[in-house]
A and B are shown apart, each in its own frame.
Chain A
Amino acid sequence: MFETSELNVHNQRVQRLYRTLFLMMTLLLILPVLLILGTLVVKGGSVISIDFLFTSPTDGMTAGGLFPALFGTVWLVAVALLISVPLGIAAAIYLSEYAGENWFTRIINLAIINLAGVPSIVHALFGVGAFVLFFKFGTSILAASLTLAIMTLPVVIVATRESLTAVPHAFREACWNMGATRWQTIRRVVLPNAVSGILTGVILEVSRTAGETAPIMFTGAVFFTPFLPQSVFDQTMAMSLHLFVVSTQVPGVPEDLPYGVALVLIAMVLIMNSVSIAFRMYLRGKKKW
């Protein structure tokens, strides 16, 4: 009764064929990129040393290290986080705890998608028009970080909202039944249960912010400055822009130097991302509900 018919055999063969085809497509997409990253590691690895990380560029940026750029990126990311994390968490709390399902919420969601979709160079134009010129911050860390913060705001909002909505509704109801206000419920019940998910989103944002180039080109990052920034009103060098500069703008750079800069930048970003992913998996395994 259950003998394999010819049609069955044919179908199975087709099925195997397509599985192989799709596997090939996946490998063709992923392997070249891994190969490229491998090249970066091999060529850049020879440049990287403790000195490379902790000294300034010398000889018109054709030698020396990248410390001012590394230091500047830390500044830019830190200031951007100070702005976008509170704002993003507030927005996520509103969307997850207060907003109803209506046209207004839909417009907010649409605005978030758009904020994430606007080209980075348009964010840069906005930063120049608004923060550098209109608010008269000049080209400074403050202007650049504000631009970065607005650009990466959707990352925080989306990640936070996801971890807030993952907290079961019954938790909230139990708290309301005890006579707690909405805010007491959010602060004592919802946020503690979502805090690790929010942290995952924040790490992800750090990695996004550290790699952006266009938004900071005209708002606060400069090709070269001999001084380390002292306050948010100073200009600074940055890792991403430094890679652009040494690979296109400076004549006579030894071939390996840009590879070293690229490797440090990519390592920063990918390590951050991996931490965020590992953290997320750990949490998923630990979840109590």
Chain B
Amino acid sequence: MPGKQLTKTDDLSAAFDRRNADWYIDKLVQTLVFIGGISAIIFVIAIFAFVTKEGFGFLLDRFDFQEFFTSPYWYPSDEDAPEYGILALIAGTASVTGLAMLVAIPFSLGTAVFIAEFASGKTREGLKVLVELLAAIPSVVWGFIGLSIMNPIIIDVFDVPVGLNVLNAGIILGLMAAPIMTSIAEDALKAVPDRYREAAEAMGATRWQVIYKTVLPAAKNGLLGAVLLGVGRGFGETMAVLMATGHSVNIPGSVFDSVRALTATIAAELGETAVGSDHYQVLFTIGIFLFLITFVINLTADLIVRGIRKG
């Protein structure tokens, strides 16, 4: 307030009031970005709420815990006596995901170690770009590869009548999950401070000794997190599994058996059901089950990874 002497009687708060247009715009933006910030929370809650809402009728009236989880009979469209046992579907998902992890875990951790610790310069950059591109291949393309490239190879090599089975889907899913696991694992290795490596090298350790004795123990939790996120990804995969498993309800006895996965069942059957019917609702109930499992997997992975950062 130039030229005017402030006296005790003046309202000081009015003199220093900075609430001009800019101030209000600032507050408005703050509110808007806050809404954006909480949108992720809102969406996760909304997903759970809407999927539960559609599946609720079945949960309330028809849901029989024992039948649902322990019966291998899935005949949802039988008019007289429909059966809703998802045991065989769980077995299908578990066998395919299990085999996929058998393929993906060693190779992606190995690749991550090679990229982060052995490779350098252009080789490292090139490999990283390649892994990133492989991670971008859409799942329906993977399914198509399983259907038209892997299928005849498996029939030829193993002399089996059908090439769409646990083996096929497991390999496809493993190749699919590996690039993602590789990137996350590589991040975990990169998060180990360089002074650890320098200290070990100063003691005369070779590169491999540094990796084995220093880097891997320090990155243990991050790597475990990477594996868990890979499991979650394999578990929730839909199109590739729908196209490469053979899609027949079956508790597999060997890797050459066709199976059907939980996710693929929803994808294949939702289009044929009437909105609100038991069959329609049971598919949403499976959706709730899938949501809860991936929620737990992601939560665990997060707790493991953050645990180490705090310590």
Contacts and interface: CB of A to CB of B under 8 A. Distances in A.
Contacts of A87: 36, 39
B236 A120 contact: yes
A228 B180 CA distance: 36
A23 interface: yes
B129 interface: yes
Given A112-B40, A184-B26, A244-B143, A217 B271 contact: yes
Nearest to B46: A130
Contacts of B295: 114, 117-118
A133 B138 contact: no
Contacts of B53: 129
A240 B39 contact: no
Nearest to B263: A121
- Which of A125, A266, A273 is most buried by chain B, counting CB atoms within 10 A of its CB? A125
B36 A108 contact: no
Interface stretch (A8-16, A47-55, A63-71, A229-237): A8-16
A181 B26 CA distance: 7
Interface size class of B (residues with CB under 8 A): 35 or more
Interface size class of A (residues with CB under 8 A): 35 or more
B294 A39 contact: no
A40 to B, nearest CB: 8
A80 interface: no
A30 B298 CA distance: 27
A118 B239 CA distance: 15
Interface of B: 22-23, 25-26, 29-30, 32-41, 43-44, 46-47, 50-51, 53-54, 106-108, 110-111, 113-115, 118, 127, 129-134, 136-141, 143-145, 147-149, 175, 178, 182, 206-209, 211, 229, 232-233, 235-239, 243, 263, 266-267, 270-271, 275, 283-284, 287, 290-291, 294-295, 297-299, 301-302
25 contacts: A11-B209, A15-B209, A19-B208, A22-B113, A25-B106, A26-B110, A36-B145, A90-B32, A91-B39, A95-B37, A110-B302, A114-B44, A119-B236, A119-B290, A121-B263, A122-B291, A124-B266, A183-B30, A210-B138, A211-B137, A211-B140, A244-B140, A244-B239, A258-B148, A269-B136
